[in-house]
Amino acid sequence: MKKNLVIFGFGDIAQLAYYYFRTDSDYNVVAFTIDRSYIAEDEFCGLPVIPFEDIHKQYPPESNDFFVALSYSKINTVRKEKYLAAKALGYQLTSYISSRATILNEQSIGENCFILEDNTLQPFVTIGNNVTLWSGNHIGHHSTIHDHCFVASHVVVSGGVEIAEQCFIGVNATLRDHIKIGERSVIGAGTLILTDVEAEGVYIGPATERSRVPSSKLRKI
């Protein structure tokens, strides 16, 4: 028998979490919840939307697990706050780990993690609580990603890297081996990091500039 699950969220990530849990897990999603002041509709994905202030009464933690489906807003602070609030109510926070991910780290993965398809976690990797790994990442051996981090798609984390709490790692970023990323750091899309990053560091690579030649003048395309 499938376990019941309540999802915190009302946007794209919540809809994706509903899809993944519904199609690739042992959970039966029974309701969504958000703070009362943000509720605009009483139904989402065909399920009831319950004020978070009342969720423990209508869907008690004794018979329902919980998942916080939020993005990296305010460097993951909002997701962290809701994760801690749900735990304070007594809920068991579950993780989604795609059946299409390659998990070789003996399931050393914390609570409320969202690990999508085509991720590779090599041996001796440790993933903390409330970590999102979007699709297609490589997390190298002996690396540690601490709590409340968000790693976007196709990131390469080489071996022995330590990523502190509440970091954001953008699409196609590359982190060389045996470096440390300080807490609440933002590593932008396509960035190459070769040395340690102090806390609250921001690294944004240059964007590709438009060519002076218009596409209509290209001869080989």
In the chain, the amino acid numbered 175 is: L
Do 53 and 83 sit in the same domain of this protein? yes
- Could you tell me if 135 and 151 are in contact, meaning their C-beta atoms sit under 8 angstroms apart? no
Q: Give me the pLDDT at residue 175, please.
A: 98
Residue 17: what are its φ and ψ, rounded to 5°? -60, -40
Q: What average pLDDT is seen over the chain?
A: 97
Residue 217 included in any domain: no
* pLDDT tens-digit series, residues 134-188: 999 999 999 999 999 999 999 999 999 999 999 999 999 999 999 999 999 999 9
Q: What proportion of the chain, given as a percentage, has pLDDT over 90? A: 95
At residue 106, what is the residue type?
E
Residues 60 and 115 in one domain: no
Q: Name the band, by pLDDT with cuts 50, 70 and 90, for residue 220.
A: confident
Q: What is the pLDDT of residue 221?
A: 66
> Residue 60: pLDDT above 90?
yes
Nearest to 134 by CA among 169, 182, 84: 169
pLDDT band at 127 (very low <50, low <70, confident <90, very high): very high
Mean of pLDDT values over 108-133: 98
Residue type, 100: R
Final residue in a domain of this structure, among 55, 88, 121: 88
118 with 177, same domain? yes
Q: What is the dihedral of CA 65, 137, 109, 11, to 10 degrees?
A: -20
For the cut 90, the answer to whether the pLDDT of residue 1 exceeds it is no
Residue 122: inside a domain = yes
Q: Other C-beta atoms within 10 Å of 162: how many?
A: 18
The reply to whether 41 and 119 lie within a common domain is: no
Residue 216, in any domain of the structure = no
Instruction: Provide the pairing of β-strand 168-169 with 138-139.
Output: unpaired
Nearest to 145 by CA among 116, 176, 108: 108
- CATH code: domain of residue 35: 3.40.50.20
Place 98 in a pLDDT band, splitting at 50, 70 and 90: very high
CATH number at residue 122: 2.160.10.10
Q: Average pLDDT, stretch 74-98?
A: 98
Question: Do residue 100 and residue 197 come from a single domain?
Answer: yes
Q: What is the rounded distance in angstroms from the CA atom of residue 217 to the CA atom of residue 84?
A: 56
Q: Which domain covers residue 133, as residue numbers?
A: 95-201
CA dihedral 158, 164, 170, 171 (to 10 degrees): 30
Q: Both 71 and 103 in a single domain?
A: no
What are residue 79's phi and psi, to 5 degrees? -65, -40
Q: How confident is the model at residue 109 (pLDDT cuts 50, 70, 90)?
A: very high
Decide: 197 and 182 in contact? Cβ < 8 Å: yes
Distance CA 176, CA 195 (A): 8
The answer to whether the beta carbons of residues 203 and 187 sit under 8 Å apart is: yes
65 and 157 together in one domain = no
Q: How many domains does the chain have?
A: 2
220 in a domain, yes or no? no
Lookup: tokens for 151: 């790693």
- Burial-class residue 205 by CB neighbours within 10 Å (0-12, 13-18, 19+): middle
pTM of the model: 0.95
